[in-house]
Amino acid sequence: MSKNNSKNGNGSGEGRSSAESFEIKVGLAEMMKGGVIMDVTTAEQAKIAEEAGACAVMALERVPADIRKEGGVARMCSIEIIEGIQRTVSIPVMAKVRIGHFAEARVLEQLGVDFIDESEVLTPADDAHHIDKHAYRSPFVCGCRDLGEALRRIGEGAAMIRTKGEAGSGNIVEAVRHLRQVNGDIRALTALRPEELASRAKELRAPLELVQRVAEAGCLPVPNFAAGGIATPADAVLCMSLGAEAVFVGSGIFKSEDPARRAAAVVRATTHWNEPEEVLAASRGLGSAMPGIEMETLGEHERLANRGW
C-alpha cells in the first residue's frame, strides 16, 4: 500500500485541518450513497459481497444474529480477519468497535480501515461516554434512534449516521420506527422560530449549533443510512423510500438460504428503489430469508438499540 507519497497534498492526512478532515471523512460517506454495505465475517464472504455489488463491507467476528444467540462479550473483529478482507476486496472495508472503546478505534485506524462503526451491536466498553471521533483520521459511523442521538454523535465527530433498527432481528419494524423518528424530528425542527431552537436543543440534548444547522438545511449535515433488520429487497426499498440514503445489511445476507443471490437482489432493489418492476424482478427466486424475531419476545435488556447514550 502506498502511504505518505503525497507532498503537496498531505496524503498521509497529517496536515489536515479539522474542518478539512471532516470534509474528507464525510466525502467517503457521500460516495456510498445509493449503495449497500454488507456485514461479513470472512474474506470469502467479503468476496461474495463485492461480486454482488456491495459498495463496502463491514468486518465483524460474528453477525448480530449469532451474537444474540451465543451471547458473551462481542468485541472488535480479529486483526487477521480484517487484513484478510482488506487483501481480498477493492471496495472500502469498515469494521466495528465497542461504544467508547477508543483503543480499539486506534488499532483500526492504524490498520487503515476505511470507516469505523462505533456500534451498539458489540458489547459497550463505556457506559457513559462515546469516542471523541474528531481525534482520528478514519471516519466514524454511529447509530441513532432519534435526532438528538444523531446530533450528539455528529457533535462527537461522526461523519455518517445510521438509524439503529434492531440488529440481528430480521425484523424491519425498529428500522422504520427510527427512520420516521429522525426524519419527523427534522421536519418539526424546520417549523420552529429561531428563538425556539435553544430550548429544543436542550430537550434533544444536542449541540445548539447543530440544531440550528439542521433547522436551516432541513437535513442532517452528514449522510443518513439505515440499518438493523433488513432481510429482503423490499425491506431495503422501504428504508430508501423513508429517506435513507443507503442501507446496511447485517445478518440478512449470510443467514439466508442463498447469500450471493440475495446480496445481488438487495443491491438491485436499492439502486432501483423507486422502480416497482425492478424491485419485483429482484425479489424473485431468492429462497428463504433469515428467520426473524418478534419484538414483543425481546426483553428491554436484549434490545441492542438501547445501547448508546
Please give the positions annotated as active site.
Answer: 96
The total of other beta-carbon atoms located within 10 Å of residue 30's CB is: 13
Q: Is 271 among the residues that bind another protein (CB under 8 A)? A: yes
Binding mask 153-172 for another protein (x = CB under 8 A): --------------------
Tell me the three cell numbers of residue 71. Answer: 451471547
* Separation of alpha carbons 188 and 191, rounded Å: 5
Interface pick for another protein out of 46, 55, 74, 290 (rule CB under 8 A): 55
Task: Closer to another protein by CB, 213 or 303: give it.
Answer: 213
Can you give 76-101 as a three-state secondary structure string? Answer: CCCHHHHHHHHHHCCCCEEEEEECCC
Q: Is 285 among the residues that bind another protein (CB under 8 A)? A: no
Q: Is 243 among the residues that bind another protein (CB under 8 A)? A: no
* Separation of alpha carbons 218 and 68, rounded Å: 36
Interface pick for another protein out of 16, 47, 106, 134 (rule CB under 8 A): 16
Interface pick for another protein out of 66, 83, 114, 258 (rule CB under 8 A): 114
Task: Closer to another protein by CB, 61 or 109: give it.
Answer: 109
Closest to 144 in 3D by CA, of 210, 78, 241: 210
Q: Is 139 among the residues that bind another protein (CB under 8 A)? A: yes
Task: Closer to another protein by CB, 94 or 189: give it.
Answer: 94
Q: Is 2 among the residues that bind another protein (CB under 8 A)? A: yes
Q: Is 216 among the residues that bind another protein (CB under 8 A)? A: no
- Give the count of residues interacting with another protein (CB under 8 A): 50
Tell me the three cell numbers of residue 88. Answer: 481480498
| Phi and psi at residue 93, to the nearest 5° | -110, 120
The total of other beta-carbon atoms located within 10 Å of residue 148's CB is: 20
Q: How far is the CB of 50 from another protein (least distance, A)?
A: 6
Interface pick for another protein out of 41, 119, 138, 181 (rule CB under 8 A): 138
Q: Is 115 among the residues that bind another protein (CB under 8 A)? A: yes
Binding mask 66-105 for another protein (x = CB under 8 A): --------------------x---xxxx------------
Q: Which residue type sits at 256?
A: S
From the number of C-beta atoms within 10 Å of its C-beta (0-12, 13-18, 19+), residue 262 rates as: buried
| Binding span for another protein by CB under 8 A among 29-37, 68-76, 122-130, 232-240 | 29-37
The DSSP code sequence of 192-228 is S-GGGHHHHHHHHT--HHHHHHHHHHSS-SS-EEE-S
| Binding span for another protein by CB under 8 A among 176-184, 206-214, 267-275, 299-307 | 267-275
Q: How far is the CB of 160 from another protein (least distance, A)?
A: 12
| Binding span for another protein by CB under 8 A among 71-79, 97-105, 134-142, 208-216 | 134-142
Closest to 174 in 3D by CA, of 79, 239, 88, 250: 239
CB contact set of 101 (below 8 Å; sequence gap of 6+)? 76, 125, 126, 131
- Can you state the percent helix, strand and coil of the chain, rounding each to 5? 45, 10, 40
Interacting residues with another protein (CB under 8 A): 1-13, 16, 20, 23-25, 27-28, 30-35, 50, 52-56, 86, 90-93, 109, 112-115, 137-139, 267-268, 271-272, 275
